[in-house]
Amino acid sequence: MNTAINALDQLKPNIIPEPINWWPVAYGWWAVALIAFITIVIISTKVTASWLKNRYRKQGLKQLTALYKQYNAPDTEKQYLHCCNRLLKKIALRTYTNKSVAKLCGIEWLEFLSQTAKMPEFINGSGKVLGDLRFQNKIKINTKELHHLAKTWIQNHHV
């Protein structure tokens, strides 16, 4: 018989360490979390500010579309012209804090509209009906072109 002792049987069992706990988190992960939080706050603040800054444009476009639907008939062209002019003036007063916008009329008003959106159609094209021509009795108004022009101004004017 073999009375020799097997050396492997004399070894003690392996000691298995306890599993590593996920808490407390290392300092590096705290730094990553802080940077991510700050980034999210900055981005959401900028998006919200941009949305609030341009909200008046969406409201103006909705009002313009409603006016176009309401006064899109041959006998209501002049009413559409006056309402469209009033809406553009309202948007300009809200956008440009300069008090001189309120007193603009005639060619000065058309030049202001033309300069703020870089659209010469207010002076040379179908937009000149928004000036002093709108007070004449017989005037030809193309409401479709005027609507497109006003819509483009609302979308593209520079503040």
- 93 occurs within a structural domain: yes
Chain segment 14-60, per-residue pLDDT in tens: 899 888 888 888 899 999 999 999 999 999 999 999 999 889 999 99
Does residue 65 sit within a domain? yes
Domain-embedded: residue 132: yes
The range of the structural domain enclosing residue 66 comes to 55-156
Spell out the SS3 assignment of 56-118: HHHHHHHHHHHHHHHCCCHHHHHHHHHHHHHHHHHHHHHHCCCHHHCCCCHHHHHHHHHHHHC
Q: With a threshold of 0.95, does the pTM exceed it?
A: no
CA-CA-CA-CA dihedral for 121, 84, 154, 99, to nearest 10: 100
- Say how far apart CA 154 and CA 137 lie, in whole Å: 28
In a domain, 146, yes or no: yes
Which range among 34-38, 77-81, 97-101 shows the weakest confidence by mean pLDDT? 97-101
If one counts the domains in the chain, the total is 1
What single-letter amino acid sits at 141? I
In degrees and rounded to multiples of 5, residue 60 shows phi and psi of: -65, -40
